[in-house]
Chain A
Amino acid sequence: MKKLLLLGDEAIAQGAIDAGLSGVFAYPGTPSTEITEYIRASQEAKNKGIVAEWSANEKTAMETALGMSYAGKKAMVCMKHVGLNVAADAFMNAAITGSHGGLVVVSADDPSMHSSQNEQDSRFFGKFAQIPVLEPSNQQEAYNMTYYSFLLSEKLGTPVLMRITTRLAHSRSGVIRKEILPQNNLSLPSDLKQFVLLPSIARKQYNTLISKQRIFEQESTESGHNHFIEGKDKSMGIIACGISYNYLLENYTQQTIPYPVLKISQYPVEKTLVKKLYDEVESILILEEGYPILEELIRGLLDEGKKIKGRMDGTLPRTGELNPNYVAKALGMNYEEGYDIPKTLKARPPVLCDGCSHWDSYYALNEALEPYSKGRVLSDIGCYTLGALPPLNAINSCVDMGASITMAIGAAEAGLVPAVAVIGDSTFTHSGMTGLLDAVNRKVPITVMLLDNSTTAMTGGQDSPGFGHLESIIKGLGVEEEHIRIIKPLRRHHEENVAIIKEEISYNGVSVVIPRRECVQTLAKRMKLKHAKDKMQKESQSSKK
């Protein structure tokens, strides 16, 4: 079969399609976005009637996938690592209910925080939920393991977590497909109380989950995803998890690895494999992309056994993603260094696009707040977070999705009045609405700047769930109509916009100002498409003549 050239994300998507997927649900987030985008764009998925939808947030996506699994079909839910925090309630309890149709949860971690606010390791979440976790090392494994995860999920009646990191998500390589499996028919669980987590049932279900732990371990070995590679030099053994295995191989392209190696791509890890390695070597080097999870387990609290090297003793950096050079150093190998980076080089941080509406919104807000002391703007996650950087210096927080409104409430209740929240349209419907309800109920004097560019811009312009009905949502939550103000963020409206923001800031209650102008990126895309369509129409008309 012909190889497909796929991103790690796309390999997961194709693996799911070929395993008989019926639905994928997600909220976009780097580096996970391309999984769902691929399925949405796939003609094959369309022909098969696979549902591929953006949800309002990761929790609603997770629950929708669980519902599809309940109805007997194979479902997948995709998110970035911090999205799993949002979905955590559903995720943790799905481990207790178990699955019916195959259920795969994909969480894409971002070590080194290329596009994130932390580098939490989703394997930890998998352990927390006590479900199997897969961690592919390359694109082919990403495909294979997704395919396998659906089978495993159905075989053991458990959700399965697929953990990848940025480097694999956004790197392309050849992938060979497997036999295509059919979708499941609609069917309900044989026990219709399986998903009712009343305490009496939950206890029973929890015991079932616990009793499966040993089987999960055995599966990790029997699947072949964790395997032992013999080596003659027993002075050291190496445990390589996920993508770090590639960095190990990279240092031995000209020779075989002299040390015994344990390649790990599935958790929980069976003790016997680790014991075999531990017993035959003098020391162990542990390579993990993310937290030192396995390293901590093997060291134990007392750490009095054989010498262990890894992220915890400085052999490898404690934070950030690994690379071939870090691993070379850990192996005690030399490598040819390149040239020194010239001092002439300057940093080039990301900036808001030319013509972006956020510039005008922030210029107006900055001016409206000039009479007050600094530090009054609580903000959120999106392109507009770049407003924190010079020359704007316009915002003072970015913590988690939706935290702008709720933090502004807390700050106002502490006496910081006026306090302003800045949030985007997609972030607002993701997790801002409930906070706004709190503000309305308590009549807290905050002003919400709801920057409406009518898209989920940062991740590439996905649909914004509140598009076309933001005002009715805000009104429905109880914000008074006269304090919902829509402005046009353009330079020529600057004075007027400043005046409106000033008015609302001085109002002793909840007000929402909506600067509304389409994202310049999606606008350009739309125009390009329109242009192409017009051209095609013209051509077909002229050919008819």
Chain B
Amino acid sequence: MKKDIILAGVGGQGILTIATIIGMAALSEDLQLKQAEVHGMSQRGGDVQSHLRISSDPIASDLIPEGGADLIISVEPMEALRYFNMLNKKSGWLISSINPFKNIKDYPELEDILKEIWKLPRYVTLDADKMAREQGSIRGANIVVLGAASPYLGLKESSLKEAIKTLFGKKGQDLIDLNLKAFDAGKEFSLNSNS
């Protein structure tokens, strides 16, 4: 088993939460893991990404080779485009929220961004903000996207949910329930949109 995952977003959007949950789930399944993060200047509203590699065998590089990513998970649609060169053309999936984070003047039309994503053979695009709100809070949008990616992660759903419980455990049962519902909503959408 080996999955190379690019997590994409804008500094402050919390892609590391997704990375942490996948990482915890992978460890609970005794998998190896490497996770390269961005710290420093770019965290101030710039583009950020994390290279997350999980495998049953030892992992060499901290960086995923170009054209090698099994999965791009993006919490922002334009940021999904930034890593097209990383995606495996034969089997790679792109999972992205369609909720723009506009902090630049020349932000493109959402329609033009989605047109590019929809050219790919394998993708899931979803209104994560709306779905999170329906489950109780827009703050769960990250987890909705994670849920949508979950069928393609090669990890057990139970491991991912356990990780969510552990991570949000300190913050109370309400937050755990909210995030589990967000996860399920994302997962259901993803499975239905590609059946």
The reply to whether B84 and A350 form a contact with Cβ atoms under 8 Å apart is no
Residues of A within 8 A of B10 (CB): 348
A346 touches B78 (CB 8 A): yes
Within 8 A of B (CB), among A305-364: 323-325, 328, 335-342, 344-353
> Which residues of chain B come closer than 8 Å to A339, judged between CB atoms?
84-85, 87, 89, 120
Prevailing SS type, chain A contact patch? loop
Partner of B45, one of A5, A172, A351: A351
Q: Min CB distance, A23 to chain B, in Å?
A: 24
Q: Provided the pairs A339-B87, A341-B85 are in contact, do residues A325 and B39 lie with their beta carbons within 8 angstroms?
A: no
Residues of A near B112 (CB, < 8 A) are 344
Residues of A within 8 A of B63 (CB): 167, 247, 323-324
Contact residues, B37-94 vs A (CB, 8 A): 37-47, 51, 57, 59-69, 78-79, 81-82, 84-90, 92
With A172-B37, A246-B60 in contact, is A348–B85 under 8 Å at CB? no
Measured in the bound complex, the distance between the Cα atoms of B81 and A30 in whole Å is: 27
Q: Across the interface, which residues of B come within 8 angstroms of A171, CB to CB?
A: 34-37, 51, 62
Q: How far is the CA of A115 from the CA of B115 in the complex (A)?
A: 33
A350 touches B45 (CB 8 A): yes
Which partner residue on chain B sits nearest A352 by CB separation?
A: B44
Chain B residues near A34 (CB, 8 Å)?
39
B76 closest partner in A (C-beta): A348
Query: CB-nearest residue of chain B relative to A346?
Result: B106
CB 8 Å contact bits of A169-205 with B (1 = contact, 0 = none): 0111110000000000000000000000000000000
Answer whether residue B167 sits at the interface, using C-beta atoms and an 8 A cutoff.
no
Q: Is the CB of B39 within 8 A of A30?
A: yes
Whether, in the assembled complex, A268 has its beta carbon less than 8 Å from a beta carbon of chain B, the answer is: no
Contacts A246-B61, A246-B62: A346 and B11 contacting too (C-beta < 8 A)? no
Q: Which residues of B contact A30 (CB under 8 A)?
A: 39-41
B137 lies within 8 A of chain A by Cβ: no
Determine how close the nearest CB of chain B comes to the CB of A456; give it in whole angstroms. Answer: 13
Whether A388 sits at the interface, judged by CB under 8 Å, is: no
**Are A345 and B67 in touch, CB under 8 angstroms?**
no
Cβ contact within 8 Å between A458 and B85: no
- The number of inter-chain residue pairs (CB within 8 angstroms) is 165
Pairwise interchain contact A349-B61, C-beta atoms closer than 8 A = no
A460→B44 CA distance, assembly (Å): 10
Question: Is there a chain B Cβ closer than 8 Å to A383's Cβ?
Answer: yes
Question: Closest B-chain residue to A324, C-beta based?
Answer: B65
Cross-interface CB contact of A167 among B42, B62, B104, cutoff 8 Å: B62
Binary A-proximity of B85-110 (CB < 8 A = 1, otherwise 0): 11111101000000000011011100
A145 CB → nearest B CB, Å = 17
With an 8 A cutoff between CB atoms, is A281 at the interface?
no
Contact present for A336 and B46 (CB under 8 Å) = no
Is A438 engaged at the interface, CB distance under 8 Å to the other chain?
A: no
Closest 6 CB pairs of A and B: A115-B40, A30-B40, A350-B46, A249-B60, A250-B61, A171-B62
What are 24 pairs between A and B in contact, CB < 8 Å?
A: A5-B27, A30-B39, A172-B35, A246-B60, A247-B61, A323-B65, A324-B61, A335-B67, A338-B86, A338-B87, A338-B88, A339-B84, A340-B84, A342-B116, A344-B115, A345-B82, A345-B108, A348-B46, A350-B41, A350-B42, A350-B44, A350-B46, A383-B44, A458-B41
Chain B interface (Cβ < 8 Å from any Cβ of A): 10-11, 23, 27, 32-47, 51, 57, 59-69, 78-79, 81-82, 84-90, 92, 103-104, 106-108, 112-113, 115-116, 120
Excluding A338-B88, A342-B84, A348-B45, 4 further A-B contacts by CB distance (< 8 Å) are A3-B27, A115-B41, A344-B116, A348-B79
